[in-house]
Amino acid sequence: MTALICGSMAYDTVMVFDGKFRDHILPDRLHVLNVAFLVPSMRRNFGGCAGNIAYNLKLLGGDGLIMATVGHDFAPYSEWLALSELPLTHVRTVPDQFTAQAYITTDLDNNQITAFHPGAMNFSHLNLVSDSTGIQLGIVAPDGRQGMLEHAEQFAAAGIPFIFDPGQGLPMFGELELRQFIERASWVAVNDYEASLLSERTGWSLEKIATQVRALVVTRGAEGSWIFADGQRREIPVASTARIADPTGCGDAYRAGLLFGLARGFDWHTTGRVAALMAGIKIEHHGTQQHRCSQDAFRERFKTEFGYSL
């Protein structure tokens, strides 16, 4: 079963400041803030929700197509996708725009200052779900505002079940738009903060939201996740990890696990655990697409972790 993954493609430039922001930012001078941080450590990662989800789904042995808009600077990322055997069929280049970019500076207290340039992502509505063929499953992940609205509408019109994953794009939408997303979606996936914001903005409790879809998935960091489905709330544990290197992209890895489980027809008990283990593997590595795991190794680790075979 092929999944169409609608979402952002981005470069993430991560810089580490060998100090603490609070030692350099004076609270009484914020109105004339002018600071510079020396960052001896820097790395540039391939990221964006669509790219991250597709990468993790590929590791699991799933079949996904990225639908996204990118800029004239996309060549290095394109080469990486080719090496990762991820097709560019529905990745559209907007020639006069940069690919979306996040510039993240982190201090020794793990505080972050981030600047995000959406660039070509703002043109995601130029892509149409109907441009794809053979799609049985989809996801609307964080992307350009108009693109998210239109892709959800197009999935629903085509009768293709999809996950609504608003992520950091959630604040762009008001009550009626969010209710419409939920009513059109088959599943909703959010983290615990987003769940609270979604509930506040729609005026619906989590239990009410769950009645509008086949399942509501709420990830809760180190406390595992909840899956509301069939009138029940299932508790999904986290997977054990050798180390915690970098949480960035764990949510996308989890969503890849959801897509894989849905495509394979797994029950929620197993789908949630596949997603949790994929997120656990990701957190052990820096970057969002630097981890590796063969399908055999994943199945073996799954059995060791959860006590039964996929």
Domain ranges across the chain: 2-27+37-306
In 3D space, the residue among 186, 208, 109, 76 whose CA is nearest the CA of residue 140 turns out to be: 186
Nearest to 13 by CA among 114, 143, 97: 114
Match 């696990």 to its residue by tokens.
257
Q: How far is CA 247 from CA 5, 124, 221, 285, in A?
A: 21, 26, 9, 9
Element (H, E) at 224: none
Give the fold, CATH level 3, of 2-27+37-306: UDP-N-acetylmuramoyl-L-alanine:D-glutamate ligase (3.40.1190)
Residue 106, pLDDT score: 86
b (16+ CB within 10 A) / e for 271-297: bbbbbbbbbbbbbebebbbebebeeee
Distance CA 9, CA 147 (A): 13
In one-letter notation, the amino acid at residue 93 is T
pLDDT (tens digit, 0 to 9) for every residue of the chain, 310 residues total? 999 999 999 999 989 899 999 998 888 887 888 989 999 989 899 999 999 999 999 999 999 999 999 999 999 999 999 999 999 999 999 999 999 999 989 888 878 888 999 999 999 999 999 999 999 999 999 999 999 999 999 999 999 999 999 999 999 999 999 999 999 999 999 999 999 999 999 999 999 999 999 999 999 999 999 999 999 999 999 999 999 888 889 999 999 999 999 999 999 999 999 999 999 999 999 889 999 999 999 999 999 999 999 9
CB 56 within 8 A of CB 275: no
DSSP structural state of residue 284:
T
